Structures are given as structure tokens and as C-alpha cells.
Amino acid sequence: MKQICVVGVGYVGLVTAACFADLGNRVMALDVNEKRIENLKKGIMPIYEPGLEEIVERNVRGHRLSFTTSYSDALKETEFAFIAVATPSGVNGEADMQYVAVAAQTIAETMTAPLIIINKSTVPVGTGDWMADIVKKYQPEPIPFAVVSCPEFLREGTAISDFMQPYRTILGSFNHEAAEKVAQLHLSLRAPIVITDLRTAEMIKYASNAFLATKISFINEIADICEALGADVKEVAIGMGYDKRIGPAMLDAGLGWGGSCFPKDVKALAYMAEENGLDPKILNTVTITNYERRRVIVKQIEEMLGGLQGRTVGLLGLAFKPNTDDMREAPSIDIAQGLIAAGAKVRAYDPVAMENAHHLLPAIETTADPYTLARGCDALIVLTEWNEFKNIDLEQVREAMKTPVILDGRNIYDPVEMRALGFTYRGVGRGFYRK
């Protein structure tokens, strides 16, 4: 049984801690947020992630998983310390490294035995070397340590299965023995393990996220062209996806990407390029066109309603994607604010993100279910493709609405069926739009 410590108990840290415990390791998960740790000790999850509560509960019961706010408790008898703290966007798009710096410094000040420090946070290329300097600087006396980069590729909403069945494990270090030891921890996941140097591992993470974001921005541009020319982007994506060189994933056209990662990571990669005298035209355009979609959707609903002043618009979904309560960089925030600025009254329903919405969008009214949401609305906009919305009784929705207008930002409904049901319906890139 290996003893592991995970620093930062957010989306990545809690999943990492719970999954490593489930693989038979003894894991101590540490966070500076006392309330979060207090709640976890009582079995209260800090985030909504399907399957996470059961796995945490099972491993706490099995004495493989515990929680603490004390670095010295967490590092006692530990050979591996995973860092999974946030790296949000700084003012100029750079990654804000304050949390990683504090974590590295505190580890250095607290460690009493040799340690492998493994970075799971998404960090700028060169961070591994920088962290090693911090650890050396703050160790009261020299104790051997190694830094390994092990970027995380999980997605929110499917985090447990993504962690347990990864496409690959990437490890970067100048200390091959340390990288091999970390590889051993991942062997039972049965995925290819790539061992490389620190900077290359750090770059693989940014390049992967930037590529996926680019793929989405690309299909969104194709969607706009489809709409102008009368083609259906959903079928175009299916047709393209059969080509193994393209693949079907990340080709859902819609409102573009949001969340805590693509926006900040594409910006951070562009920042790194610019800092080094390069002009990352593709990355910058991918971001600009992504945010443009949020403005366009407000214009489209305005056009469908012939103006937004005094109109009531209902938002189906607030989370940046389904199966999460995360609203960081969610398109819903900009869209709700755009609608309000244009004079509309905005109401919303989301199966799990409403608590977060109360803080981020205090001006909107939230409702208990989609049917109450529809009551008296001039239009509905689908912002998140929750399964619950795919299966709602659309006739009941139509009856409740003041005017049956739906702008489907995630293409969850069939345009022909929607029109047959009596809706004025517009999807994204689904053939010529006709009023």
C-alpha cells in the first residue's frame, strides 16, 4: 500500500485522491480551505461530480482516504505529493501561479523525508524547473526530492471514468527513477505511459487542450457556413467523424467552449508564445471566435422576437456543460448579461448549477423545473444539453409559453419535429433558418 498525499481538493484533487485510494493506495487529501475539509470529513462533497460521493464514501470507510488541513500530517510517511491547486487566468491571460507557489513552498518547509512532488495542475512550460528552485530555496535543510509533471486530462462530468480509463498517462521529469515510480502508481490503469522531460510534458497538456478548443471553434465556423448554405452541421459532423484522422469527438457545434480550462489554457498558451516573440494567430482567433458566439446568440434571439425590451427569456441550463454544477466561464453568464443589457427579463433553470448561479447571476430569477420556467416566457434558449431537457414534454412547454420560440444553442432538438410541434425554432447550423 503506497502512501500518497494530494494537495488541493477541488475537481482534480478530490477525484485524484478518491481514485488513487480506490486503486488500493492510502491517500491523505489536503486543502487550505477549512470548511471544505470539515465538510468532506462529514461526507459533504464540495462539488457535483457523478459517482464521486460513492467512491469517497467507500474509501473513507475502508480507511484508505482521509482529509486534513495540515501539511505535516499529509506529508508524514508520504513518498508522493500530488499538487492539484488552481491555476486561473491572470490579468493578461497568463496562468496565475500563486497557489502553486504557496503549495511548493509549504511542501519544502514541511517535508522531513525524500519526496516525489508531482504536478497535476496545468502549469506554464518551465514550471517544473521553477518549482524545483522554490523547493530548494525553502527547505530548512537539503532533503532529496524530484519534480515530476503528470498533467491531468479528465473532464468534469465524467471525471471518474476519465481518471480510471485514461487515453494515456504523461510523465515528465529529469529524474527517470522518480518518473518510473510515478508510472508504477498508474500501471493498473492500463493506459499507454509516455515518459518525457518536464517541459515537454507540460506542453503536451496545453497543446491537447488548445487543439480540442480549436476543433470546437472550427466546427462552429462550419456551422455558420452550413446555416448560410442550407446544410446541416450535425450530419456534417457525423460524416466527418467517420474519418479516423478526424474522429467524432469535440464536433458538437453550439455556443462554444467555456469552463475552467479551455478559456484559460488557450489564453495562457498564447501568452507563452507572445512572451517568446511569437504571434500565435490560430490560438488568438480560436478564442475571439469562441466569445463572439455568445454575442451572436443574443442578437439571434433579439431578431427572433423582434426586440428584447420588456421580453421574458428563459434559459434552459446554466452550467458550462452537462453533469456538472461548474459555471466558471459558462456561456450562460455572458448571454444572461447580454439579454439583461438589451432590456429582457431573464429566468433560468438548471438541474444542479442554480446555487452557483445565485452568486454569479444575482439578477436572474431561477425556477424549480423547466415547465415553471416556460410559464409566460416569450422565448427559451437551450444553453446546456442536459439529458433532462432532451426528454421534456415539449407540448406542455409550448402551452406554458407566451410565444413558442426556442433558440437551441446546443442542437438537442430536431428542427423538423420542433416546427411540427408549432415552435418557431432555430438551432445552430441546421440548414437555412426560416422564421
Q: Which residues are catalytic?
A: 261
Q: How far is the CB of 54 from ligand NAD (least distance, A)?
A: 19
Q: Are the C-beta atoms of residues 113 and 141 closer than 8 Å to each other?
A: no
Binding mask 68-97 for ligand NAD (x = CB under 6 A): ----------------xxxx----------
Is residue 202 a contact point for ligand NAD (CB under 6 A)? no
Q: 316 - beta bridge partners?
A: 349, 382
Is residue 320 a contact point for ligand NAD (CB under 6 A)? no
Is residue 12 a contact point for ligand NAD (CB under 6 A)? yes
Pick the closer one to ligand NAD by CB: 28 or 380.
28
Q: Are the C-beta atoms of residues 388 and 315 closer than 8 Å to each other?
A: no
Q: CA 131 from chain center: how many Å?
A: 25
Pick the closer one to ligand UGA by CB: 156 or 378.
156
User: Other CB atoms closer than 10 Å to residue 193's CB: what's the count?
Assistant: 18
In the complex, which residue's CB is closest to ligand NAD?
A: 10
Out of ligand UGA, ligand NAD, none, which partner does residue 251 contact, by CB within 5 to 8 A per kind?
Answer: ligand UGA
Distances (CA, A) of 238 to 241, 248, 411, 414: 5, 7, 14, 15
Q: Are the C-beta atoms of residues 77 and 3 closer than 8 Å to each other?
A: yes
Residues that bind ligand UGA (CB under 6 A): 122, 152-156, 209, 212, 216, 250-252, 254, 256-259, 261-262, 320-321
In the complex, which residue's CB is closest to ligand UGA?
A: 261
Is residue 7 a contact point for ligand NAD (CB under 6 A)? yes
Q: 379 - beta bridge partners?
A: 313
- CA separation for the pair 109, 130 (Å, rounded): 16
Q: How far is the CB of 107 from ligand NAD (least distance, A)?
A: 9
Out of ligand UGA, ligand NAD, none, which partner does residue 33 contact, by CB within 5 to 8 A per kind?
Answer: ligand NAD
Q: Report the sign of the C-alpha dihedral through residues 153, 158, 161, 167, in that order.
A: negative
SS3 244: coil
- CA separation for the pair 298, 334 (Å, rounded): 9
Binding mask 143-182 for ligand NAD (x = CB under 6 A): ---------x-x-x--------------------------
* Grid coordinates belonging to 254: 453550439
- Residues in binding contact with ligand NAD, number by CB under 6 A: 26
Q: How far is the CB of 29 from ligand UGA (least distance, A)?
A: 19
Pick the closer one to ligand UGA by CB: 36 or 293.
293
Stretch of 27-35, 284-292, 333-341, 407-415 contacting ligand NAD, by CB under 6 A? 27-35
Pick the closer one to ligand NAD by CB: 14 or 374.
14
Q: How far is the CB of 351 from ligand UGA (least distance, A)?
A: 15
SS3 148: strand
Enter the DSSP assignment of 146: E
Is residue 131 a contact point for ligand NAD (CB under 6 A)? no
Closest CA to 103 of 91, 90, 115, 89: 115
* Grid coordinates belonging to 132: 524545483
Q: How far is the CB of 73 from ligand NAD (least distance, A)?
A: 13
- CA separation for the pair 374, 316 (Å, rounded): 9
Distances (CA, A) of 151 to 20, 125, 205, 434: 15, 12, 6, 46
Q: How far is the CB of 251 from ligand UGA (least distance, A)?
A: 5
Residue 185 neighbours by CB under 8 Å, 6+ apart: 2, 4, 20, 23, 25, 80
Out of ligand UGA, ligand NAD, none, which partner does residue 147 contact, by CB within 5 to 8 A per kind?
Answer: none
Q: How far is the CB of 371 from ligand UGA (least distance, A)?
A: 24
Closest CA to 201 of 160, 156, 148, 165: 148
Pick the closer one to ligand UGA by CB: 265 or 378.
265
Q: Which residue ranges make up the site for ligand NAD (CB under 6 A)?
A: 7-13, 30-33, 36, 84-87, 99, 102-103, 121-122, 152, 154, 156, 260-261
